[in-house]
């Protein structure tokens, strides 16, 4: 949110637009790539909350038609979950699973970096196939501001690159000494907010007040729901399926777990799904099935509007901007 206040993400969006050199199709791909990077580094919920209004504002400035704007918004919204695979902090599902199975930061990346790239490339290809007729061949990028003009504090903007790099290094150091990721994430957030406050670039009270606290309450509520479902016997039914899959070939076990997680996430939301699946997988010593569960829970929720918190936040953000996407349209 501090980066957003100083114009970091708006600068990135404008930079991507300028790099397209007026090609509508290049701009489409670049906007998805930007969404994939932001989702990986700042979590899927962050990507949905921060990039959506920026992209919508740019589309309106470019005077694009409704179908084109919808194509860009849907592609950008869908990538938020699909690209939240590479780091533990990229998605709540990753955090829950990493904590449950004591997966280290480095170990998580080494196993999930390839699925991340495959997911992003597949998403770009399929999104383009679906929306290609709605993407204009040429866009007048001269209507947009220069990226440098939206930066509110040049010194803090330049420092933010170094700070993000140091934060990433901190995660690796924490992994080596068994320090929780939350220490660096929360500590880094407080330090950066303090620095931004001293430069008089942001108002800390505004940042804290406007933070998406609904993410926290939503997650806590679902924790309670999950343990209710567990006590009602849902975990036992899922365990039977997973135990059966584990007795089959490795390929069937992995693919079956992935698809089970996918469909449960779509219709039950991915947070309850990842938790119930994790509970049952603790008795099954199959590392590949654990990672398949994460992939399924990050890709599956895009099938329905209520599959993930990121999608719900994305739809809420759009509705506040006057863009309403119906259930059936989605």
Q: Is there a contact between 16 and 51 (Cβ–Cβ < 8 Å)?
A: no
Q: How many CA atoms lie within 13 A of 218 on its CB side?
A: 16
Among 27, 32, 4, 2, which Cα is nearest to 16's? 27
Is residue 245, in this structure, part of any structural domain at all? yes
Is residue 275, in this structure, part of any structural domain at all? yes
Tell me the average pLDDT of the chain. Answer: 91
Q: Which domain holds residue 266?
A: 213-309
The structural domain count of the chain equals 1
Tens-place pLDDT, residues 65-79: 989 999 999 998 899
For the entire predicted model, the pTM comes to 0.89
Is residue 96, in this structure, part of any structural domain at all? no
SS3 category, 62: coil
Is residue 55, in this structure, part of any structural domain at all? no
Is residue 237, in this structure, part of any structural domain at all? yes
238, burial (CB in 10 Å: exposed 0-12, middle 13-18, buried 19+): buried
DSSP string, 121-149: HHHHHHHHHHHGGGS-SB--GGGSPPGGG
Tens-place pLDDT, residues 99-153: 999 999 999 999 999 999 999 999 999 999 999 999 999 999 999 999 999 999 9
Is residue 288, in this structure, part of any structural domain at all? yes
Is residue 247, in this structure, part of any structural domain at all? yes
Average pLDDT over residues 207-213: 80
Q: Identify the band that residue 320 occupies on the pLDDT scale cut at 50, 70 and 90.
A: confident
Is the per-residue pLDDT at 255 higher than 90?
yes
Q: Identify the band that residue 268 occupies on the pLDDT scale cut at 50, 70 and 90.
A: confident
Tens-place pLDDT, residues 218-248: 777 877 887 787 788 888 889 899 999 999 9
Is residue 183, in this structure, part of any structural domain at all? no
Average pLDDT over residues 293-309: 93
């Amino acid at each position: 949110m501090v980066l957003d206040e100083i114009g970091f993400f708006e600068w990135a969006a404008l930079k991507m637009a300028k790099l397209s050199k007026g090609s509508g199709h290049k701009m489409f791909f670049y906007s998805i790539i930007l969404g994939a990077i932001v989702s990986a580094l700042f979590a899927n919920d962050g990507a949905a909350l921060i990039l959506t209004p920026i992209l919508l504002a740019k589309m309106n400035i470019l005077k694009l038609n409704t179908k084109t704007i919808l194509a860009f918004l849907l592609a950008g919204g869908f990538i938020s979950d699909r690209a939240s695979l590479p780091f533990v902090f990229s998605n709540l599902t990753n955090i829950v699973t990493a904590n449950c199975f004591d997966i280290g930061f480095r170990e998580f990346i080494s196993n999930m970096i390839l699925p991340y790239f495959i997911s992003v490339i597949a998403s770009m290809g399929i999104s383009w196939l679906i929306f290609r007729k709605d993407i204009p061949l040429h866009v007048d990028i001269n209507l947009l501001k220069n990226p440098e003009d939206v930066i509110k504090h040049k010194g803090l903007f330049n420092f933010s690159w170094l700070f993000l790099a140091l934060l990433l290094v901190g995660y690796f150091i924490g992994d080596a000494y068994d320090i929780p990721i939350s220490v660096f994430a929360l500590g880094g957030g407080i330090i950066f907010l303090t620095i931004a406050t001293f430069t008089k670039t942001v108002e800390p009270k505004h940042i804290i007040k406007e933070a998406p606290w609904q993410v926290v309450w939503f997650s806590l509520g679902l924790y309670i729901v999950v343990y209710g479902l567990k006590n009602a016997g849902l975990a036992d039914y899922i365990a039977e399926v997973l135990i059966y899959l584990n007795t089959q070939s490795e390929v069937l076990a992995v693919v079956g777990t992935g698809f089970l997680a996918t469909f449960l996430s779509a219709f039950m939301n991915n947070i309850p799904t990842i938790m119930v699946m994790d509970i049952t997988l603790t008795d099954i010593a199959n590392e590949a099935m654990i990672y398949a569960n994460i992939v399924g829970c990050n890709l599956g929720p895009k099938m329905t509007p209520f599959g993930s918190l990121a999608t719900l936040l994305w739809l809420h953000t759009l509705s506040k901007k006057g863009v309403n996407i119906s259930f059936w349209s989605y």
